[in-house]
Amino acid sequence: MIDPTFAALPHRSLGEVALARAAELGASHADFRFERVRYQYLGARDGVLQTASDTEDVGFAVRVIHRGAWGFASGVVLTEAEARRVAETAIAVADVAAAMTTTPVQLAPEPVHDDVTWVSAYDLNPLDVPTAEKAAVLTEWTTRLRKHPSVSHATADLQQVQENKYYADLAGTRTTQQRVRLQPGFEAMGSDEASGVFDSMTSIAPPVARGWEYLTDGRYDWDAELAEVPDLLAEKLAAPSVEAGSYDLVIHPSNLWLTIHESIGHATELDRALGYEANYAGTSFATYDKLGTLQYGSPIMNVTGDRTQPHGLSTVGYDDEGVQTREWDIVKDGVLVGYQLDRSMGHMKPELHEGRSNGCAYADSPGHIPIQRMANVSLQAAPDGPSTEELISRVERGIYIVGDKSWSIDMQRFNFQFTGQRFFKITDGRLDGQLRDVAYQATTTDFWSSMEAVGGPETWVLGGAFNCGKAQPGQVAAVSHGAPTALFRGVRILNTTDEAGH
CATH code of the domain in which 131 resides: 3.30.2290.10
Taking the C-alpha atoms of residue 233 and residue 258, their distance in angstroms, rounded to an integer, is 22
* Per-residue pLDDT, 499: 87
CB 417 within 8 A of CB 408: yes
For residues 190 and 169, membership in a common domain is answered with: yes
Q: Which amino acid is at 347?
A: H
For residues 255 and 209, membership in a common domain is answered with: no
* Per-residue pLDDT, 502: 62
pTM of the model: 0.97
Query: Which regions of 342-485 does DSSP assign to beta strands (E)?
Result: 361-362, 371-372, 376-379, 397-402, 407-409, 415-418, 422-427, 430-435, 438-443, 451-454, 461-470, 475-483
Instruction: Judge whether residue 17 has pLDDT over 80.
Output: yes
* Per-residue pLDDT, 376: 98
* Per-residue pLDDT, 196: 84
Q: How many CB atoms lie within 10 A of CB 243?
A: 11
Number of domains in the chain: 2
- Give start and end residues of each alpha helix (H) in 285-412: 343-348, 388-393
CB 400 within 8 A of CB 393: no
For residues 205 and 352, membership in a common domain is answered with: no
**Pick from 176, 206, 238: which residue ends a domain?**
238
- Give start and end residues of each alpha helix (H) in 215-330: 222-238, 253-260, 270-273
Residue 56: half-sphere exposure toward Cβ, Cα within 13 Å: 8
For residues 286 and 225, membership in a common domain is answered with: no
Q: How many CB atoms lie within 10 A of CB 349?
A: 16
* Per-residue pLDDT, 359: 97
* Per-residue pLDDT, 119: 98
For residues 276 and 211, membership in a common domain is answered with: no
- Give start and end residues of each alpha helix (H) in 99-182: 131-146
| Model confidence pLDDT, tens digit, residues 350-409 | 999 889 999 999 999 999 999 999 999 999 999 999 999 999 999 999 999 999 999 999
Among 296, 306, 250, CA closest to 273? 296
Q: Please state the rounded mean pLDDT for residues 301-314.
A: 98
Among 145, 153, 244, 229, CA closest to 198? 153
Taking the C-alpha atoms of residue 336 and residue 359, their distance in angstroms, rounded to an integer, is 19
CB 34 within 8 A of CB 2: no
Among 208, 42, 230, CA closest to 136? 42
| Model confidence pLDDT, tens digit, residues 19-42 | 999 999 999 999 999 999 999 999
* Per-residue pLDDT, 194: 81
CB 2 within 8 A of CB 117: yes
For residues 224 and 251, membership in a common domain is answered with: no
CB 271 within 8 A of CB 345: yes
**Pick from 177, 209, 238: which residue ends a domain?**
238
| Model confidence pLDDT, tens digit, residues 129-163 | 999 999 999 999 999 999 999 999 999 999 999 99
Taking the C-alpha atoms of residue 372 and residue 265, their distance in angstroms, rounded to an integer, is 12
Percent of the chain residues topping a pLDDT of 90: 95
For residues 160 and 271, membership in a common domain is answered with: no
For residues 234 and 292, membership in a common domain is answered with: no
For residues 228 and 264, membership in a common domain is answered with: no
Instruction: Judge whether residue 282 has pLDDT over 90.
Output: no
| Model confidence pLDDT, tens digit, residues 192-247 | 888 889 999 999 999 999 999 999 999 899 999 999 999 999 999 999 999 999 99
**Pick from 219, 238, 257: which residue ends a domain?**
238
For residues 228 and 286, membership in a common domain is answered with: no
* Per-residue pLDDT, 133: 98
pLDDT averaged over every residue in the chain = 97
Using omega within 30 degrees of 0 as the cis cutoff, is the peptide bond preceding 473 cis? yes
Q: Is 55 exposed, middle or buried (0-12, 13-18, 19+ CB in 10 A)?
A: exposed
Q: pLDDT band at 280, cuts 50/70/90?
A: confident
Structural domain boundaries enclosing 415: 245-500
Q: Please state the rounded mean pLDDT for residues 428-437.
A: 97
For residues 196 and 270, membership in a common domain is answered with: no
For residues 306 and 378, membership in a common domain is answered with: yes
User: 3-state class of 117 per DSSP?
Assistant: strand
User: 3-state class of 425 per DSSP?
Assistant: strand
Q: Please state the rounded mean pLDDT for residues 412-436.
A: 97
Task: List, in order, residues 6 or more apart from 236 with CB less than 8 Å away.
Answer: 199, 201, 422, 434, 436
